[in-house]
């Protein structure tokens, strides 16, 4: 059985931050500081009305999760890893955008073992299958995975997480290039 490798979508493979900004800017919403300097910064910088539009089905909701740009090196790395590992997409995206998510994955030629939409109120470390290692850009989710499962979490350095220091020292490995992740997985996980 191939080992399971958990991979987050937004901020890891899919550039959600840039996509949200583009959709809002096309609507005429001016947002300072690009990209976000901390988690949920966009929400702090726009009105409640514009935030609701972004998430509403008559607004941008499906496009928000499908029409945006990717992190190409992440796509290439996962395409490479999916031959030797079972990729599990672990995302907090709302469940109703599953069709958009699956279309996007197919367009990228990504063939994960499974896609898990973690429900509201649940944590990523609670979902099954448990993975041998994870890629996660959200600092608190990364801490939850490393702290509760005792596994290595690879954290892509982004402007919204680069200033942080982690308590799960040693288990959270910030990286600049996805090749660092593929090399680590091949060395430590894939037998
Ligand atoms: Mg993310």
pLDDT in tens, the chain (191 residues): 899 999 999 999 999 999 999 999 999 998 887 899 988 899 999 999 999 999 997 778 989 999 999 999 999 999 999 999 999 999 999 999 999 999 999 999 999 999 999 999 999 999 999 999 999 999 999 999 999 999 999 999 999 988 777 776 689 999 999 999 999 999 999 87
Residues 37, 75: one domain? Answer: no
Per-residue CA distances from 77 to 71, 72, 84, 119, 181 (Å):
10, 9, 12, 27, 8
The helix/strand/coil state of 91 is strand
Å from CA of 153 to ligand 1 middle: 13
Domain boundary residue among 64, 83, 102?
64
pTM: 0.94
Query: Order of strands, edge to edge, in the sheet holding 153-156?
Result: 114-117, 86-91, 4-7, 133-135, 153-156, 172-175
Residues 113, 40: one domain? Answer: no
Residues 126, 145: one domain? Answer: yes
Å from CA of 182 to ligand 1 middle: 18
Å from CA of 183 to ligand 1 middle: 21
Range of the domain at 125: 4-15+69-188
CATH number at residue 97: 3.40.50.1000
Å from CA of 66 to ligand 1 middle: 15
CA–CA distance, 137 with 134 (Å, rounded to integer)? 10
Å from CA of 21 to ligand 1 middle: 16
Å from CA of 40 to ligand 1 middle: 11
């Amino acid at each position: 059985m191939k080992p399971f490798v958990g991979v987050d979508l937004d901020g890891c493979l899919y550039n959600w931050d840039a996509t949200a900004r583009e959709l809002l800017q096309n609507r005429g919403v001016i947002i300072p500081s690009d990209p976000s300097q901390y988690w949920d910064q966009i929400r702090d910088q726009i009105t409640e009305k514009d935030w609701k539009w972004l998430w509403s089905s008559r607004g941008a909701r499906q496009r928000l999760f499908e029409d945006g740009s990717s992190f190409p090196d992440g796509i290439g790395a996962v395409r490479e890893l999916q031959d030797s590992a079972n990729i599990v997409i672990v995302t907090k995206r709302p469940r109703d955008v599953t069709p958009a998510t699956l279309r996007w994955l197919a367009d990228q030629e990504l063939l994960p073992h499974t896609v898990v939409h973690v429900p509201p109120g649940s944590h990523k470390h609670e979902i099954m299958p448990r993975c041998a290692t994870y890629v996660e850009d959200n600092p608190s989710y990364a801490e939850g995975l490393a702290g509760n499962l005792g596994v290595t979490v690879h954290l892509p350095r982004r402007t919204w997480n680069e200033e942080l220091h982690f308590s799960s020292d040693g288990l959270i490995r910030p990286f600049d290039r996805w090749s660092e992740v593929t090399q680590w997985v091949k060395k430590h996980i894939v037998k």
